[in-house]
Copies of this chain bind each other. A is one copy, B any other.
Amino acid sequence: MAVELVAPASLPSVRGVRVGVARAHIKKPDRRDLVLMELAPGTVCAATFTTNAFCAAPVVLARRHLQVRSPRFLLVNTGYANAGTGERGMADAQTCCEAVAVRGACRADEVLPFSTGVIGEFLPTDRVVNGLDAAFGNLSPDGWLEAAQGIMTTDTVAKGASRRIEIDGKTVTITGIAKGAGMIAPNMATMLAFIATDAGVSQPSLQKLLGRAVEQSFNRVIVDGDMSTNDACVLAATGQSGVAIGSESSDACRDFESALTDVCVRLAQAIVRDGEGATKFVTLDINGGATLEECRQVGRAIGTSPLIKTALFASDPNWGRILAAIGRAGLEGLAIDRVDVYLGDVCIVNGGMRASNYTEAAGQATMNRPEVAIRVELARGGHSATYWTCDFSYDYVRINAEYRT
């Protein structure tokens, strides 16, 4: 199902991080559904969360805990999102943190809780707590791939990415996992992602680096334009490589940021490739905007258009729908007769109408591929934005019509 995406064969460990995975039977029997990440003392954490006003209890609690302590454990369950669950949902998330704290010999506010799954049902905390012994029991530096499987919901492929770089003659590792695959729209990490590194980074720097990386990656993907209640992206830096990332102007910091962004982009793209029902992976390059924001408006208008997404599913080079989406994106004084659109290298729209040398055969050949690049030239200025999106298929409808049953 997923577009040109296979699960990683393995994921490199990160010094200072151990991962444990359990089958806690939280919603479905006998699948990995509970993930525990143990962070060595001294680890520094940064995180970004959903900007949805309707956010889940674990998001509220994780935000609160992050403000008071550096976390020692991350706990992730699938099956239930623990969103729309009111005070009881907050108490349930707290119960889970306390159960981890008892077994992990730490404080409850040193645990960050994360949940993903159905909204509005209460979390069966007894099953989560019962699963903890198994998760603690198999804590290992090498548990990343199982963890990537353990956070999947409608995902069909486990998602992970890793980079190793040399800094000052020492090796720094950045490894991350993520899950999608629906309710995906860009405004902060619209999914769950957990990334760790053994570099040493101060908390303020780490938060800044994560924010910038998220902006270039997870905030650039659209599956369906819906924004989740539970999204979170966490970056933990253990410092155990012996490498300290210094000032932001240093070469080391630049190399680190580049590698971090690369890991985030690969995870973000994996989410789109495994978007619900996706059959196409689409890169939208919006160039020539007067501002960055107007490039984003155009990217979002195209990436969320049901008419464009169904045309992509049909491999139909329907440039009229693309122009119609650009035209309604809200750009002040847009001269549509200066707009060009390319499918891959094929110029399909020139000056707001079909390019004179365009042939359906050329457009069709480009659209038949599983990976499609759409480039829009607005001719209004020097700004650009890139989005990654996918098509709307029968399977998107099937998956989301059947999700709760």
Contacts and interface: CB of A to CB of B under 8 A. Distances in A.
A320 B353 CA distance: 42
A388 to B, nearest CB: 17
A61 interface: no
Interface stretch (A9-17, A237-245, A311-319): A311-319
Contacts of A183: 307, 321, 324
Q: Give this chain's copy count.
A: 2
B52 A310 contact: no
Band of interface residues on A: 35 or more
A393 interface: yes
A155 B85 CA distance: 42
Given A323-B84, A326-B54, A331-B53, A401 B226 contact: no
A182 B400 CA distance: 21
Nearest to A319: B120
Contacts of A168: none
A304 to B, nearest CB: 7
A405 interface: yes
A319 B84 contact: yes
A302 to B, nearest CB: 11
A190 to B, nearest CB: 10
Contacts of A264: none
Contact of A224 (B119, B307, B326, B400): B307
Contacts of A321: 119, 183, 226
A174 interface: no
A351 interface: yes
A185 interface: yes
Interface in A377-402: 392-394, 396-398, 400-402
A306 interface: yes
A229 interface: yes
A103 interface: no
B327 A52 contact: yes
Residue of A225, A319, A397 ringed by the most chain B CB atoms within 10 A: A397
A229 B84 contact: no
Across the A-B interface, give the 3 residue pairs with the lowest CB-CB distance, nearest first. A119-B320, A54-B327, A314-B401
Contacts of A326: 53-54
Nearest to A313: B401
Contacts of A310: 396-397, 400-401
B86 A337 contact: yes
Interface string A114-152: 000011100000000000000000000000000000000
A368 interface: no
B396 A328 contact: no
Interface in A52-81: 52-55, 81
Contacts of A327: 52-55, 227, 229
Contacts of A351: 86
